[in-house]
Amino acid sequence: MAKEELLRWMGRPSLLGSEEEVPPEVPPPPYFQDLLLDELEGLFLASQDGFGLLSFFRNLPNHKTAVLHRQAVCRELEGKASSLRGFLRSMEEVRGRLGLSQKARHPWQKALYHLQAARAYLAGVGALGRDWSLLPPHSPGLRAYAAHLEAYLQSPGFSNLRREAETVWQDLQGLRYVLHVHEGRLTLRAYQGEGDYGRRIMETFRPFFGPSSPTFPEPGMEEGPILNHIEEWLLDHLALLFPGPFARLQSFFATHQGFLDPVLARLEREVRFFLAYLDFLSPLRAAGLPFTYPEPADTPPFFVEGAFDLVLAAKLVAEGKVPIPNDFRVEREHILVITGPNQGGKTTFARMVGQVHHLFSLGLPVPGRRARLLLPDRILSHFEVRENPEDLRSKLESDLLRLRDILEQATARSLLILNEPLASATLVDARMIGRFLLEKIRDKGSLALVVTFLDELARLPGTRSLVAEVDPSDPSRRTFHIREKPAEGKAYALALAARHGLTYEALKRRLGGGA
C-alpha cells in the first residue's frame, strides 16, 4: 500500500472503506423483504442490538475501492481476530460498568463504577496495542486503526487518564478501617493495627464451603446499581474518614466523563459488524458450505458457482440438512429468464442472486465456490405483494406502476430481480406487456433476472433461458436445480396433483361421486 494512501486512511480510520460516517439509522431498502434480507439481518445481528449495525447492512457503498477495502479486512478477521475479540470483551465490560454508573442513585457509587469502567477501558486498549505491536495487522483498514492506536497510547491525554485512574484506584485499595457493630449500632474509624476478626471468622467457617472450593467468599458489596441504607451510610462515612482519596475519586469522575476515544469506539462498532457476520457463517462452513470473495468486474462474464440462498441454508443446517447449490452466469445476454414448474426453486434462485449481489456490495464473503460479479449501482425487485384494500387500483395497475418505477430508476449498472411480475394479467396481456418490459430492460442494458410462466419470453433477443428441473423418473419430484437450457413449456402440474391425490379421478373417489 502506497504511503500516501495509508496516510489518507489514517486521516479517518475505517473498516468500511468510506470517509463518510454511516448514519445510525438507515431504513431498509425496498428490495429487502423480497430477498429475505430482513430475515438475514435479524439472524446475524440479533445479538448486537444497540450498536446501530443494521445501518452497516443496509447502506451500500457502491464503489469498488470500498468493496476491496472491506474484503481485505474481512479476510484478515477470518484468520486473526483474537486480539479484537479481547478488545470487544473489554468494551462490553466498560459499557456494562458505565451503565451501572448511570443507574446508580448514590453519587459515590456512580463514581466508583465509572472508575471501574475507565480501568477496564485502559486494560482493553492497552492489550490491543501490545498485541498489534507484536503482530501488526496488514489490511489497510486495520493498519489505519493500529496507527491511530499507537499514537493514542502515547498521547498526553491517555497517559494522564491512566496515571490518574491508577492513583485513585491505589488510594482506594489502600484504605484500612475498622467497622464496629455493637447492639445494632455501627461505628467507623481508621485502622490502628487491630486483629482482623472478619478474616478469622472466614477461616473458621472455611470447612463449610466444601472441599471443591479452593477459596472462600470475600466480603464486599453485591453487584448492582442499588445500595441498601447501610452500604450508603458506609460510603458516606468512609468519604468523611478519608477525604483525600474520595476527593480524588470525585475529581476523576468529573474530569473524565468522556474518556472513550471516539475513533476506538467506531472501531468497536465496525469490528462487531464483520465478526457478527463471520460468526453467523461459522456453522454453515462447518456443514461443508462454501463461501467466497467475488472479484469485481465491469464487463461480462459475471458468475457465481455453487451458490445458495443464505436464509434457507441457515434453516436447513439447523435441521441437519444442506441446500441445493446452483450456478449463476451472465455473458453477452444480460437478461436471464427462468421458467419451469411451480415449487421448483425459481423464486429461491432469484432471491439467491439478489442476496449474493447485496453481500458482495458490502464486501462480505458470499455463498459459493467462486464468483465474478458486477457491482450494481442499485438493486431493484418486484415480487408479489398483498392487495391493499384501501388502494382502489386493480392489482394489474399497481403492478404496472411498480414496474414503471423500476424502469425509471434502472441504469446499465442496475440489477433487476422480477419474480412473476405479470401474474395478475391475463395470458394475452402478459405476453404483450412482457415483451415490452424485456425490450425496455434490454434498451437500458440492465442486468436482469425474470421468473415467469411465459416460455416465449425466454426466446426473445437478449435473453438467456434457465429452467427449473424435475426428476425425469418422477416428474412430481423437484430437484431444485436451475439449468441453462431452452424453455420446454412443461409445468408438470398433473404429476404434482397425482402425487398429492388431487387429480379428477382421485377427488371423485374421495368425494364418493359417481362415474
* Pairwise CA distance, residues 160 & 168, whole Å: 12
Cell of 193: 493495627
Question: H-helix or E-strand containing 398?
Answer: helix 395-409
Q: Higher-confidence residue: 410 or 223?
A: 410
482 sits in which H/E element: strand 474-484
Residue 252 has pLDDT above 50, yes or no: yes
Is pLDDT of 8 > 50?
no
pLDDT digits (tens, 9 = 90+) for 101-149: 999 999 999 999 999 999 999 999 999 999 999 999 999 999 999 999 9
DSSP of 9-21, one letter per residue? HHHS--SSS-SSP
> What's the CA gap between 140 and 178, in Å, rounded?
57
* pLDDT at residue number 391: 60
* Amino acid identity, position 471: D
Q: For the segment 432-463, what is each residue's pLDDT rounded down to a tens digit?
A: 999 999 999 999 999 999 999 999 999 999 99
pLDDT tens readout for residues 145-204: 999 999 999 999 999 999 999 999 999 999 988 888 877 788 888 888 877 776 777 778
CA distance 364 to 72: 10
Q: Is the pLDDT of residue 215 over 90?
A: no
| Per-residue model confidence as pLDDT tens digits over 345-363 | 999 999 999 999 999 999 9
Residue 23 confidence (pLDDT)? 79
Q: What is the pLDDT of residue 130?
A: 97
CA distance 492 to 209: 73
Note the pLDDT of residue 511. Answer: 78
Compute the residue count for the chain: 515
Helices 64-79 and 262-286 pack at an angle, to 10 degrees, of 70
Residue-level pLDDT at 491: 57
Separation between Cα atoms, residue 378 and residue 29, nearest integer Å:
10
Please state the pTM of the whole predicted model: 0.88
